[in-house]
Structure 1
Amino acid sequence: MKIDCVGGGPASLYLAVLAKLREPAHEVTVHERHAEGTSYGWGVTYWPDLLADLHAHDPESARLIEEQSVCWRGGFAYVGDRTTAHDGDPGHAIGRHRLRTILADRARSLGVRLEFGREIGGRADLPDADLVVAGDGAHSGLRTEHAAEFGTRVTTGANRFIWLGTTRVFTAFTFAFVETGHGWIWCYAYGFSDEHSTCVVECSATTWSALGFDRLGHAEALRLLEELFSDLLEGHELLGRKDIESHAQWQAFPTVTNAAWSHGNLALIGDAAHTTHYSIGAGTTLALRDAMSLARAVGSVAGPRELPAALAAYEQERRRALLPVQSAARHSAQWYENLPRYMALAPHQMFALLGQRHSPLLPYVPPQLYFHVDQALGRLQPLRRLKQSLGPRLARTLQSRRTPGR
Structure 2
Amino acid sequence: MKVACVGGGPAGLYLSILLKRQDPSHDITVYERNPEGSTYGWGVTYWRGFLDKLHAHDPESARAVEKHSVRWNQGIAHVRDMSTRQPGDEGHGIGRHKLLEILADRARALGVRLEFEHEITAEDPPEADLLVAADGVHSALRTHHAGHFGAELTAGRNPYIWLGTTKVFDSFTFAFVETEHGWIWCYGYPFSSERSTCVIECPPETWTGLGLDRASEADGLAHLEKLFAHILDGHELIGRASSDGSAPWLTFRTLTNHTWYRDNLVLLGDAAHTTHYSIGAGTTLALEDAFALADALRTCADLPQALARYERERKSALLSLQSAARYSAQWYENLTRYIHLPPEQMFALLGQRHSPLLPYVPPQLYYRLDRAAGQLEALRRFKRWLGPKLARTAHARALTSGK
TM-score range, shorter chain: over 0.9
Alpha-carbon deviation of 1:324?
Answer: 1.6
**Cα distance between partner residues in 1 of 2:9 and 2:175:** 30
**Cα distance between partner residues in 2 of 1:246 and 1:52:** 42
Q: Which amino acid aligns with 1:49?
A: G
**Cα distance between partner residues in 1 of 2:124 and 2:348:** 51
The aligned residue for residue 55 of structure 2 is 55
The aligned residue for residue 360 of structure 1 is 356
Alpha-carbon deviation of 1:187?
Answer: 0.3
Q: Does the Cα contact within 8 Å between 2:72 and 2:170 map onto a contact in 1? A: yes
- TM-score normalised by L of structure 1: 0.93
Alpha-carbon deviation of 1:382?
Answer: 2.2
Q: Which amino acid aligns with 1:324?
A: S
Matches within 5 A, 1:62-77: 62-77=62-77
Matches within 5 A, 1:238-317: 238-241=237-240, 249-300=248-299, 306-317=302-313
Matches within 5 A, 1:206-221: 206-221=205-220
SS of 2:202's equivalent in the other structure is: strand
SS of 2:225's equivalent in the other structure is: helix
**Cα distance between partner residues in 1 of 2:187 and 2:287:** 23
Q: Which amino acid aligns with 2:105?
A: D
Q: Deviations over 1:330-356 (max 9, x none)?
A: 110110010011011011110000001
SS of 1:223's equivalent in the other structure is: helix
The aligned residue for residue 331 of structure 1 is 327
SS of 2:132's equivalent in the other structure is: strand
Q: Check if 1:386 corresponds to 2:382.
A: yes
Q: Does the Cα contact within 8 Å between 2:214 and 2:246 map onto a contact in 1? A: no
Alpha-carbon deviation of 1:115?
Answer: 0.7
SS of 1:253's equivalent in the other structure is: strand
SS of 2:167's equivalent in the other structure is: coil
SS of 2:99's equivalent in the other structure is: helix
**Cα distance between partner residues in 2 of 1:245 and 1:5:** 32
> Match for 1:371 among 351, 354, 367?
367
The aligned residue for residue 169 of structure 1 is 168
Instruction: For structure 1, list consecutive stretches of 5 or more residues without a partner in the other structure.
Output: none
Tell me the C-alpha RMSD between the 2 structures: 2.1
The aligned residue for residue 230 of structure 1 is 229
Q: Does the Cα contact within 8 Å between 2:217 and 2:245 map onto a contact in 1? A: no
The aligned residue for residue 178 of structure 2 is 179
Alpha-carbon deviation of 1:375?
Answer: 1.1
Distance 1:34 1:369, change over 3 A: same
Q: Deviations over 1:43-95 (max 9, x none)?
A: 01000111111111111111100000001101110101111001000010000
**Cα distance between partner residues in 1 of 2:242 and 2:313:** 36
**Cα distance between partner residues in 2 of 1:372 and 1:128:** 60
Alpha-carbon deviation of 1:308?
Answer: 0.9
The aligned residue for residue 132 of structure 1 is 131
**Cα distance between partner residues in 2 of 1:41 and 1:244:** 17
Alpha-carbon deviation of 1:299?
Answer: 2.4
Distance 1:349 1:301, change over 3 A: closer
**Cα distance between partner residues in 2 of 1:95 and 1:244:** 24
The aligned residue for residue 16 of structure 1 is 16
Q: Does the Cα contact within 8 Å between 2:94 and 2:192 map onto a contact in 1? A: yes
Deviating beyond 6 angstroms after TM superposition, the runs of 4 or more aligned structure 1 residues are 242-247, 392-398
Alpha-carbon deviation of 1:247?
Answer: 7.2
The aligned residue for residue 99 of structure 2 is 99
